[in-house]
Amino acid sequence: MADHVVAVVRHLNSSVSISASKIYSDADVAQISGATTNPAFTQQGYKTTFRVVPTDARQGLVFATYALKTLHSWKIVVVDDATLYGRGLANAFAKAVVAGGGNGHQGEDSWR
């Protein structure tokens, strides 16, 4: 990495950010993401990783609360794209729906 690089701002998604984070940490380059929501990004222990958006866990809770309390949806089907972002957000949403009293299906699994 070039000596004059002090920071990298934003990768496309959690998969890319998490994969690149060790490289930036080893080079002592700050990595700032406005798109990385997977909690693992900042839980790796690198002092160079920063996010400016809420984690999947927080977003899942907010989306589930909206679905249950505003839309009054209690039977919900969750489909994701199997990426770190999609799976993480879908799992957080499903967990929050169950905690809020809803039920439904996620992929091929039933949950309550």
The 10s digit of each residue's pLDDT in 20-32 is 999 999 999 999 9
Work out the pLDDT band at 112, boundaries 50, 70, 90. Answer: low
Q: Which of 91, 82, 104, 81 is nearest to 56 (CA)?
A: 91
Q: What's the pLDDT score for residue 110?
A: 58
What is the rounded average pLDDT of the residues 94-107? 85
Is the CB of residue 65 less than 8 Å from the CB of residue 96? Answer: yes
d(CA 79, CA 82): 9
Q: Of residues 28 and 106, which shows the higher confidence score?
A: 28
Which regions of the chain carry the CATH code 3.40.50.2300? 56-111
Angle between helix 14-26 and 84-99 (nearest 10): 120
3-state helix vs strand vs coil in the chain, percent to 5: 45, 20, 40
Q: Is domain 56-111 given the CATH code 3.40.50.720 in the classification?
A: no
What is the rounded average pLDDT of the residues 53-79? 93
Q: What's the pLDDT score for residue 79?
A: 87
d(CA 62, CA 84): 19
